[in-house]
Amino acid sequence: MADSVTRAGDRHATTAILDYVNRVHAAHDAGLARAFEVPDGIPAIQISPSDGKLIELLLRLVRAAKVVEVGTLVGYSAIHLARALAPGGHLWSIEYEPRHAEVARANLAAAGFADRATVLVGAGRDVLPTLAPHAPFDAVFIDADKGNYPHYAQWALDHLRPGGLVLGDNAYLFGELLEDSARGRAMRAFHELVAAHCDSVCATTPEGLVIGVKR
């Protein structure tokens, strides 16, 4: 029998329960509510409210001030990251699609973060090297093209302070993590790279969220 694709919480978390806990622990303010609504023509692949709140709390715990995101989409996760920034901190978020970046900038501005968040348009591989002068960073959140996760993680490990966080969404690769495909191999390389250089876990969010604390 083939393994089923197990989503964390399937046995006990009904949709109504997830709605309840999101409402109690991760309620949207106006800025998050606006950014959660994705305009027509842009895929609704943002992280969940609880994942966003988890990332926000993790950043607060390490007192993150300088943060990089790879994969902005329309800025929902970026608002969570920006909310967590220590005083004087800054978020640099990289987005490949200019139209998505434009919506993200408007959402970040509406949420009050225009001066604390910069959305940079381009491929992660091209834009990350331009951020090196701001290193060391306190956290890097990877949520972009899955085949480049090992490259993004290596950059993160090279530019994070010890104790800094590397985070990666979609770490179960939509159920394809163990497949003998280029993407499967890349995502496994990502897991193994983070595990080799961090104290790490793959948190059992519905998508799998890798959390590494750089040694």
Contact residues toward ligand DHB (CB under 6 A) are 45, 143, 169-170, 207
**Least distance from ligand DHB to the Cβ atom of residue 30, Å:** 24
Give the integer Cα–Cα distance in Å for 28 and 138: 25
**Least distance from Mg ion to the Cβ atom of residue 133, Å:** 28
Vertex 170: Cα angle to 145 and 168 (nearest 5): 80
User: For residues 139, 53, 208 and 186, what is the CA-based torsion angle, rounded to 10 degrees?
Assistant: -30
Give the integer Cα–Cα distance in Å for 178 and 69: 26
**Least distance from ligand DHB to the Cβ atom of residue 46, Å:** 7
Letters for 105-144 (x = contact with Mg ion by CB under 5 A, - = none) are --------------------------------------x-
- Give the one entry of ligand DHB, Mg ion, none that residue 95 binds, where binding means its C-beta sits below a cut-off of 5 to 8 angstroms depending on kind: none
Question: Of the listed pieces 60-68, 118-126, 161-169, 188-196, which binds Mg ion according to CB under 5 A?
Answer: 161-169
Give the integer Cα–Cα distance in Å for 156 and 167: 10
**Least distance from ligand DHB to the Cβ atom of residue 92, Å:** 18
Give the integer Cα–Cα distance in Å for 116 and 79: 10
Is 56 a binding residue for Mg ion by CB under 5 A? The answer is: no
Letters for 166-195 (x = contact with Mg ion by CB under 5 A, - = none) are ---xx-------------------------
Nearer to Mg ion, 138 or 143 (CB): 143
Give the integer Cα–Cα distance in Å for 48 and 8: 13
Count of CB atoms situated within 10 Å of the CB of 135: 14
Give the integer Cα–Cα distance in Å for 119 and 105: 7
Interface with Mg ion (CB under 5 A): 143, 169-170
